[in-house]
Chains A and B, each alone.
Chain A
Amino acid sequence: MEQKTIKFGKNLVSTKECLAEGHNFCTGCGEALAIKLACKALGENVIIAMATGCDEVCTTPLPYTSWRVPWMHTLFENAAAEISGIEAGLKILMKKGRMSEKDIKCVAMAGDGGTSDIGIQALSGAFERGHNFLYICWDNEAYMNTGIQRSSATPYGASTTTAPAGKVSIGQTTWKKNMVAIAAAHDIPYAATACPSYPFDLMNKVKKGAEVKGPAYVHILSPCPTGWRYPSDMTIEIGRLAVETGIFPLYEVEDGRYKLNIDRPKLKPVEEYLKLQGRYRHLLDEEINKIQERVSEEYSKLKAKVVASAA
């Protein structure tokens, strides 16, 4: 198949799809789109280790596979450990001359549950050991594959099946775990956030993460029409609003230096984002204000880090 490229600014984007057509993702899935984009950025010289989750289940029902690149899945919590073995294995086989030398990108992928809950120990271990790999978290803010159960990445006030909004509960009563801060705290060379509503920003970050020597982490907000309860044609808009309200800022932490990739002079009110989604439908003004306060505060803290990094 002849390879064509399309030109966008400084980026050359391959038209080759490493995630083949015919997968089983839901219509309007933000994660599927993010994976497709990430694969374009990664190219074909890659080995992917994927945790159990929507992405794995939607792409590989035996005897079929949607993967045109080498891919493996074993368990839920071990993608980071698995990629450690892949990376170490490739390195030693090349060193011993049992495999031809080439730059194969080692990439682990997992959902927010597989990353911030059950897989966090394996991930922390792999970061600390300094393997040369990229870890991508597809964050759809709950255990979507098993039916929208809360995770530590579920935002405050969202209703899920295990933290449902009820007469005496607003749903999730804890604030979203800050995985990027946790990743950056390992002093890894690169950590970033991305969202498929900003495709070129996403691809750039994935590419950068794959090319940097040592561990890299890219946390990708992946809007989920099924779990967040919004019409499936609004994925891009929802993702954009997450960024524009400051709920999910797009930033990078490169060698400890923070950089905001999109910095709006004035953030949109969080309500514009929340009101489009069924998972927040029960929230009253009081709670929305509380979320607004928290978002503004967190955004200021992030900006302060950016300023401090520039100094």
Chain B
Amino acid sequence: MSRRVALEASFAAAEAAKMADVDVISAYPITPQTHVPERLAEMVADGELNAAYIPVESEHSAMSACLGAAAVGARTFTTTAGQGLELMHEAVYVASSMRYPIVMVICNRALSAPLSVWGDHSDAMAVRDTGWIQVFCENNQEAFDMTLWAFRVGEDPKVLFPVMVHFDGFTLSHVTEPVILPEQSEVDKFLPKFRYLFALNPDRPMTHGAFGPPEIYSETKIAQEVAFRKSKEVILQGWKEFEDIFGRSYHPVEQYKTEGAKTLLLTMGSYSETAKIAIDKKRDNGESTGLISLRLWRPFPFEEFRQVVKDVETLIVFDRCISSGMGGPVFSEVRSALYGEEKRPKVVSIIGGLGGRDVSEKDFGYIIDRGREIAEKGSDKMLDIVGIRGEMVDIRG
């Protein structure tokens, strides 16, 4: 029997890693991620989890130790946030290029300076191009589900890519919600033992990580890109299998009240749930508004996304990050994804929720109104930012 228990997202992710019978955990503490490695260390200390826990001296070493552990065929897990993800940045690229299916939980956090331990999506956006499969979670159940699913998909011999599971720092990492934990037998049915075909072993010497001269580098990168895009088949299959066993269904683009909607709001992560309340109110008022939440961020779900927005008039993209000198990164990407389409909505950018700033249900109401206004009349602002002190700053370009 599955159990319904009260867990923080951090603990839910740790439970998932435990039920996945992870072999090696290598992590360095950073707020707001700390509860994940703490809980895992506790499980190892209590003998609940038979794993090697490497308390490394930095995030760079956390990922580097994961590379080594994965290379010998261990199921490998790490977790970080914000600055930690930035410190390990170069090793993050290596994990995907060397096709090590490491699973990493990110408790999303803003980037310095000024120092902020609170949540936004700047850390996630800074690793957009690293070649990891990346998904966002809206709640603690998803933190469990996505972490478990990440092992299934990443380790599939047709995939062999690392997977990053994003959930919002504090908003989810430190908030307790009911979470359904499955039976171990169900997990074992879903997630086979990790058998890595290319494990380093003296019985069968292999070279991992030779360097790429110009005559071969391009070919290796193209091969990687083809494999990465193809991983979507297994991503979808993984969610299908997950639904068959656990009964919860997941999609690359999650939809809420999108039927017949003229205006769609696009969010990622936990704020999607807050936005849903605003959508309910708009619907109650007879406004034709819905919500889409991007679950799969990489590989980008072009088809599903285009399909969902094709009949929509206005798409309002809510970004929790500023790509300096450019604007909202998610906005830039989704607008680009639609550029070649004959039928496409007007795409509007609104930024907010930076460095842990709350965005309330009322704010989302405003975002939708303001988004529609921009779509109609255009904006005279350099950036539309919601929820900052006083009137919205009017920075003319």
Q: Which residues of A are in contact with B by a Cβ distance under 8 Å?
A: 44-47, 49, 56-57, 60-65, 67-75, 77-78, 80-93, 95-96, 98-99, 102, 104, 121-122, 124-125, 128-129
Question: Within 8 Å CB of B24, what residues of A?
Answer: 85, 88-89, 92
User: For the complex, is B285 an interface residue (Cβ under 8 Å from A)?
Assistant: no
Say yes or no: B67 contacts A125, CB within 8 Å. no
Shortest Cβ gap from B222 to chain A (Å): 14
Which residue of A47, A69, A73, A86 is within 8 Å of B209 (Cβ)? A73
Question: Within 8 Å CB of A87, what residues of B?
Answer: 68
Question: Within 8 Å CB of B123, what residues of A?
Answer: none
A-B contact pairs, 9 of them (CB 8 A): A45-B202, A47-B202, A62-B211, A68-B205, A89-B73, A89-B74, A91-B52, A92-B51, A99-B201
Say yes or no: A75 contacts B73, CB within 8 Å. no
Interface size on B, residues (CB 8 A): 46
Instruction: Report the bound CA distance from A77 to B63 in whole Å.
Output: 12
A74 to chain B: closest residue by CB: B94
Contact stretch, chosen from B212-220, B250-258, B325-333, B387-395:
B212-220
A49 touching B68 in the complex, CB below 8 Å, given contacts A81-B61, A129-B55: yes
Contact with A along B58-82 (1 / 0, CB 8 A): 1011101111111111101000000
A63 to chain B: closest residue by CB: B216
Say yes or no: A65 contacts B68, CB within 8 Å. no
User: For the complex, is B359 an interface residue (Cβ under 8 Å from A)?
Assistant: no
A85 touching B57 in the complex, CB below 8 Å, given contacts A73-B210, A93-B23: no
Instruction: Report the bound CA distance from A67 to B208 in whole Å.
Output: 10
CB contact list, B288-327 vs A, under 8 A: none
Shortest Cβ gap from A221 to chain B (Å): 26
User: For the complex, is B26 an interface residue (Cβ under 8 Å from A)?
Assistant: yes
Question: Within 8 Å CB of A104, what residues of B?
Answer: 202
Which residue of B70, B206, B213, B220 is within 8 Å of A61 (Cβ)? B213
Instruction: Report the bound CA distance from A93 to B75 in whole Å.
Output: 9
Say yes or no: A122 contacts B60, CB within 8 Å. yes
Given A45-B202, A104-B202; 10 other pairs, CB 8 A cutoff: A60-B211, A70-B204, A72-B208, A74-B98, A81-B61, A88-B26, A92-B24, A93-B72, A125-B56, A125-B61
Say yes or no: B211 contacts A89, CB within 8 Å. no
Instruction: Report the bound CA distance from A71 to B69 in whole Å.
Output: 13
Shortest Cβ gap from A247 to chain B (Å): 32
User: For the complex, is B337 an interface residue (Cβ under 8 Å from A)?
Assistant: no
A85 touching B66 in the complex, CB below 8 Å, given contacts A60-B210, A67-B207, A72-B207: yes
Question: Within 8 Å CB of A91, what residues of B?
Answer: 52
Question: Within 8 Å CB of A75, what residues of B?
Answer: 64, 90-91, 94
A93 touching B74 in the complex, CB below 8 Å, given contacts A67-B207, A69-B202: yes
A76 to chain B: closest residue by CB: B90
User: For the complex, is B6 an interface residue (Cβ under 8 Å from A)?
Assistant: no
Interface centre among B56, B64, B65, B208 (most CB of A within 10 A): B65
Question: Within 8 Å CB of A80, what residues of B?
Answer: 61
A96 to chain B: closest residue by CB: B50
A99 touching B64 in the complex, CB below 8 Å, given contacts A60-B211, A62-B211: no
Which residue of B207, B211, B213 is within 8 Å of A71 (Cβ)? B207
Question: Within 8 Å CB of A84, what residues of B?
Answer: 26, 54, 56, 61, 64-65, 68
Say yes or no: A81 contacts B64, CB within 8 Å. yes
Say yes or no: B220 contacts A62, CB within 8 Å. yes
Say yes or no: B56 contacts A81, CB within 8 Å. yes
Say yes or no: B50 contacts A93, CB within 8 Å. no
Say yes or no: A86 contacts B205, CB within 8 Å. no
